[in-house]
A and B are shown apart, each in its own frame.
Chain A
Amino acid sequence: MPTEILMPALSPTMEKGNLAKWLKKEGDRIKSGDVIAEIETDKATMEVEAADEGTLGKILVPEGTADVAVNTPIAVILGEGEDKGAIKASPQQTATKKTEAPEKKLKVDESASPATGDKPREPGKKSAAPPEPPKTELLPDPDVPEGTEMVTMTMREALRDAMAEEMRRDKDVFVMGEEVAEYQGAYKVTQGLLQEFGPKRVIDTPITEHGFAGLGVGAALAGLKPIVEFMTFNFAMQAIDQIINSAAKTLYMSGGQMGCSIVFRGPNGAAARVAAQHSQDYSAWYSHIPGLKVIAPSTAADAKGLLKAAIRDRNPVIFLENEILYGHSFPVPKLNDYVLSIGKARVARAGSDVTLVAWSIGMTYALKASEELAKDGIEAEVIDLRTLKPMDTETIITSVQKTGRAVTIEEGWQQNGVGAEIAARIMENAFDYLDAPVMRVSGKDVPMPYAANLEKLALPSVAEIVEAAKAVCYR
């Protein structure tokens, strides 16, 4: 029976990829292990090896096709004695040509999805998928002048552009970390920086988090402005002594004489199916520490404007990114020097019935939930905190004074979490305005499980937010 070759998932978060090149043509003999095609993901170009033997009977997805969903059949291998006649009717057309406008991408992806409406991922994997990027009509960012042209870019590109712009602007800025240079970044966030700035300013480090974090702090104490990339913040636990004891405390301990301008950045929180040691959310850990600023953006525009601000800031800044958001596209203002203020939340959706407070990927859940709630006549005001420390209490309080109800959303654990802090501040500052206790939707109090169904349960969900919001509205 003919065997279908499926579009493979080549990373934990990959949902689609481009079929860059076929290295075999129809009629070629194929042995197991032969490289048959090249697939371009958002992180890298990967070779695809055949797992089966036979003859390449039919290529279903021609080379140059963009955004081929994972698990789409891309070719058919014929076994001994089989001919083309054995090939069933071509499967549904699943992809779009690269030439098509990017606005159409999302639409085509959706048409490619099975009836559930979820995009296909690895078998059994879709349950772990986060909600889609928001389609909600967002309020304009007050920092962007009206009429500014917007360009679509991914979070990954925005972060890269922010670093590149600041490195052009200030020769004391450099980036260091594991695989940031030659490899172009483990998550491709530093793509192209080595080519533009050279190895002196884009520095591959050994796998030595404690050491290079401390080295970065020392260089910052000497007046340089390092951007230290952690491949993930999970690995920064090896370095946390240097981040807290050396970076955060020195300015105070020196009576203001010696501080350090340094950014520690990298993906934080859960990716997809990488289990307990690679999925922790450190929002609460770092935002506990005086002397640190902590930023966790949810959009590419915020990522760009806030990373530029972080690099310029004269203090140590923890910049928490999210692996799942790296590949998401957002409108980013086309401005020469787009720098946002650290410590300012953004009202992403106006509403009068309940305040939802979120940041980073929590915003995708929150915005999705606000749409669900709207269907039931509950208008949620969604606040994107953007900066966790210093926290923009005023924006939260102003909203709660209006709505009288609040739900916090975070991937981190509940005890001593950021949501607990927000709830306390609301209680302290707007107790008389509250019509219901503040509720927290958070990660469950367990190490992140690997199994797809359990992982989904461990993370906050849109349904939980909807439920909590209805509860505080007594609905």
Chain B
Amino acid sequence: MAVANKKPNESDGPPPYKGPAFSKDQELTAYRDMLLIRRFEEKAGQLYGMGLIGGFCHLYIGQEAVVVGMQLALKAGDQVITGYRDHGHMLACGMDPKGVMAELTGRKNGYSHGKGGSMHMFSVEKGFFGGHGIVGAQVPLGTGLAFANHYRGNDNVSLTYFGDGAANQGQVYESFNMAELWKLPAIYIIENNRYAMGTVITRSSATTDLSKRGLSFNIPGEQVDGMDVRAVKAAGEKAVAWCREGKGPYILEMLTYRYRGHSMSDPAKYRTREEVEKVRTAHDPIDMVRHRIIENKHASEDELKKIEAQVRDKVNNAAEFATHDPEPDVSELYTDVCR
């Protein structure tokens, strides 16, 4: 849904979604998928605190509606690529939470056999092309995925996610130029969570309406309420249709918010607790779906509790697996450098 002239740093969020309602199945799917990401990330944070996950760990909590909503607009064969805040994208793509968590703990059965870690995971099977640690580097790569679709003449689209911080990288605009020049089926999803690490967008960006960043290349863009999964799906469908019709790239700026710090080691002193609490209470993507489900009687409290228990079990199983899985064999040190 387009939100004209909406300042992304305003904490009251965009106006409410007025598009078509979700069906019961859609609401329940969205709820389950978003909850899985939320619980998974909470568990990851816990394991990090226990020293079972090392290095950098960037949690997706608060932004779940973006990937879940976009995924609802895709078909098999479409591709997804993102930066380092990538656990949510992997789960939304259908990757096994056990394999993702085992990668976080650096174990043998992690998606990269423990050699990639939080920021570098991939699944050819699920169309997930990473997981990239250099801010903005995924943007030319995602454009290359779109190029491959165009070259092969299939109707797949590629989704390239990046943040408001990456939106200031030069390679983003090099990519925009080529994508529009060659009419590549690339959807650029700017997850504007207002903070590039600790720098609020108004301190890093000369213009803060990031949906307009493609204007000089003639790439259409719109701002979307990234906290409302329905708005995300609707915008996603529009963008996907645009790409599949061969009209070139499309930009979606998702106005979203991360509740946790940039990484586990971020004390988040750059914003107030009140700011976070305000979004949490008024715009939480999962609470909003849950509220609608109850209100529209799509499911009872008990039925939702059952879903919640299933999700929790899944996450606990993943944690259990990831903490008991052995470390990679030492022989793995020298494998897969070249093939």
Contacting A at CB under 8 A, from B194-215, are none
Tell me, yes or no, whether B54 is within 8 Å of chain A by CB.
no
Chain B residue nearest in CB terms to A215: B144
Q: Mark B138-156, 1 if CB is under 8 A from A, else 0.
A: 0111111111110100000
CB-based contact A215/B175 at 8 Å:
yes
Cα–Cα distance between A192 and B159 once the two chains are bound (Å): 35
Quote the shortest CB–CB distance from A286 to chain B (angstroms).
Answer: 14
Inter-chain contacts of B131 with A (CB < 8 A)? 253
Cα-based distance from A442 to B140 in the complex (angstroms): 36
Check A218 against B339 for contact (C-beta < 8 Å): no
**The one of A241, A253, A291 that contacts B112, using a Cβ cutoff of 8 Å:** A253
The answer to the question of B171 belonging to the interface, with a C-beta cut-off of 8 Å to chain A, is yes
Interface 0/1 of B60-83, CB less than 8 Å to A:
000000000000000000010100
Within the complex, the shortest CB–CB distance from B163 to chain A, in Å, comes to 17
Question: For the complex, what is the distance from the CA of A355 to the CA of B50, rounded to whole Å?
Answer: 57
Report A196-218 CB contacts with B as 1/0, cut-off 8 Å. Answer: 00001000011010111111111
Q: Is the CB of A254 within 8 A of B137?
A: no
CA distance A252 to B130 in the complex (A): 13
Distance in Å from the Cβ of B218 to the closest Cβ of chain A? 15
Tell whether A241 pairs with B145 under 8 Å between CB atoms, given A174-B151, A253-B120, A258-B122: no
B330 within 8 Å of A (CB atoms): no
Please give me the residue from chain B that is nearest to A223 by CB atom: B148
A399 within 8 A of B: no
Q: Taking the complex as formed, is A256 at the interface, i.e. its CB lies under 8 A from any CB of chain B?
A: yes
Shortest CB distance B291–A (Å): 39
Closest to A206 in B: B177
Q: Which residues of A sit under 8 angstroms from B171, Cβ to Cβ?
A: 210-211, 214, 242
Determine whether A184 belongs to the interface, using a CB cutoff of 8 Å to chain B. Answer: no
Q: Which residues of chain A in 220-265 are interfacial with respect to chain B, using CB atoms and an 8 Å cutoff?
A: 220-224, 241-242, 245-246, 250-259
Interface 0/1 of A347-375, CB less than 8 Å to B: 00000000000000000000000000000
A287 near B: Cβ within 8 Å? no
Interface residues of chain B: helix, strand, loop or mixed (majority): mixed
Q: Tell me if B239 counts as interface (CB < 8 A to partner A).
A: no
Contact assessment for A254 and B122 in the assembled complex, using a CB-CB cutoff below 8 Å = yes
**Is there an interface contact between A217 and B141, defined as CB atoms closer than 8 Å?**
yes
Report how far A213 CA is from B139 CA in the complex, Å.
11
A473 at the interface (CB under 8 A from B): no
CA distance A215 to B150 in the complex (A): 13
Q: Which residues of A contact B339 (CB under 8 A)?
A: 251, 256, 259, 314-315
Q: Do A222 and B145 touch across chains, with their CB atoms under 8 A apart? A: yes
Q: Which of B116, B143, B335 contacts A218 (CB 8 A)?
A: B143
* With contact pairs A214-B137, A217-B140, A291-B338 given, residues A205 and B147 touching in the complex (Cβ less than 8 Å): no
A446 to B178: give the CA distance in the assembly, Å.
Answer: 37
**Is the interface on chain A under 10, 10 to 19, 20 to 34, or 35 or more residues?**
35 or more
A257 to B144, CA, bound (A): 18
Which residues does chain B contribute within 8 Å of A214, judged by CB atoms? 137, 139-141, 143-144, 171, 174-175
With A224-B148, A245-B133 already in contact, the answer to whether A255 and B112 are too (CB < 8 A) is yes
Question: In the complex, which residues of chain A have a beta carbon less than 8 angstroms from the beta carbon of B140?
Answer: 210-215, 217-218, 242
A257 touches B178 (CB 8 A): no
Residues of A within 8 A of B40 (CB): none
Residues in A with CB closer than 8 Å to B130 are 250, 253-254, 258
The reply on B113 being an interface residue by CB < 8 A is yes
The complex places the Cα of A222 from the Cα of B132 at a distance, in Å, of: 15
User: B51 within 8 Å of A by Cβ?
Assistant: no
Are B133 and A255 interface neighbours, CB within 8 A?
A: no
Given A218-B140, A221-B141, A246-B141, A211-B147 contact (CB < 8 Å): no
The answer to whether B115 touches A255, judged by C-beta atoms less than 8 angstroms apart, is yes
Having A210-B170, A224-B151, A255-B336, one finds 8 other A-B pairs with CB under 8 Å, namely A206-B178, A211-B175, A214-B141, A222-B129, A253-B120, A254-B121, A314-B338, A315-B338
30 A–B contact pairs at CB < 8 A? A205-B178, A210-B170, A210-B174, A211-B175, A211-B178, A212-B174, A212-B178, A214-B143, A214-B174, A215-B141, A215-B147, A220-B144, A221-B129, A221-B141, A221-B145, A222-B129, A241-B134, A242-B140, A245-B133, A250-B120, A251-B337, A251-B338, A253-B120, A255-B114, A255-B336, A257-B111, A257-B123, A258-B129, A293-B338, A314-B338
Could you tell me which B residues sit within 8 Å of A by CB distance? 79, 81, 110-116, 120-124, 129-134, 137, 139-149, 151, 170-171, 174-175, 177-178, 181, 335-339
